[in-house]
Amino acid sequence: MSKELVLLAIHGMGDTQENFADDFQEKLADRLGDSKWDNILFDTIFYQSVLQPHQDRVMKAMRRTEIDWIRLRKFLLFGFSDAAGLERRAASQGSPYEKVQQIIRTALKKAFNFIGESKPVVLVAHSLGGQVISNYIWDAQQNSATRGVWKNPTTQRGTPVDDFLRCKQLKFFYTTGCNIPIFVAGFPELDIRAIDTSTNGYAFRWKNFYDEDDALGWPLKPLSTSYRSAVFRDKEVNVGNVARSWNPLSHNGYWTDSDVLKPLARDIRALLP
Q: pLDDT digit string (tens) for 129-149?
A: 999 999 999 999 998 888 999
Q: Which is nearest to 83 in space by CA: 191, 195, 167, 182? A: 182
User: Could you tell me the pTM of the whole model?
Assistant: 0.89
Quote the percentage of the chain above a pLDDT of 70: 83
Predicted confidence band of residue 48 (pLDDT cuts 50, 70, 90): confident
User: Looking at the domain that runs over 5-271, which CATH code has it been given?
Assistant: 3.40.50.1820
Direct distance between the N- and C-terminal alpha carbons of the chain, in angstroms, rounded to an integer: 13
Q: Of the ranges 77-81, 100-104, 165-169, which one carries the lowest mean pLDDT score?
A: 77-81
Q: pLDDT digit string (tens) for 144-186?
A: 888 999 998 999 999 999 999 999 999 999 999 999 998 898 8
User: Which residue did the predictor score with more confidence, 62 or 213?
Assistant: 213
User: Which residue did the predictor score with more confidence, 251 or 63?
Assistant: 251
pLDDT value, residue 2: 86
Domain-wise residue ranges, the chain: 5-271
pLDDT value, residue 241: 46
Predicted confidence band of residue 258 (pLDDT cuts 50, 70, 90): very high
Indicate the Cα dihedral angle 207, 213, 215, 217, nearest 10°: -10
User: What string of DSSP letters covers the chain?
Assistant: ----EEEEEE--SSS--TTTTHHHHHHHHHHH-HHHHTTEEEEEE--GGGTHHHHHHHHHHHTTS----HHHHHHHHHHHHHHHHHHTTTTSTT-HHHHHHHHHHHHHHHHHHHHSS---EEEEEETHHHHHHHHHHHHHHSSS-SSSGGGS-SS-TTSHHHHHHTTTTEEEEEEES--HHHHHTTS-GGG--PPPSSSTT---EEEEEE-TT-TT---SGGG-HHHHHHEEEEEE---S-TTTTTSGGGGG-GGGSHHHHHHHHHHHHHH--
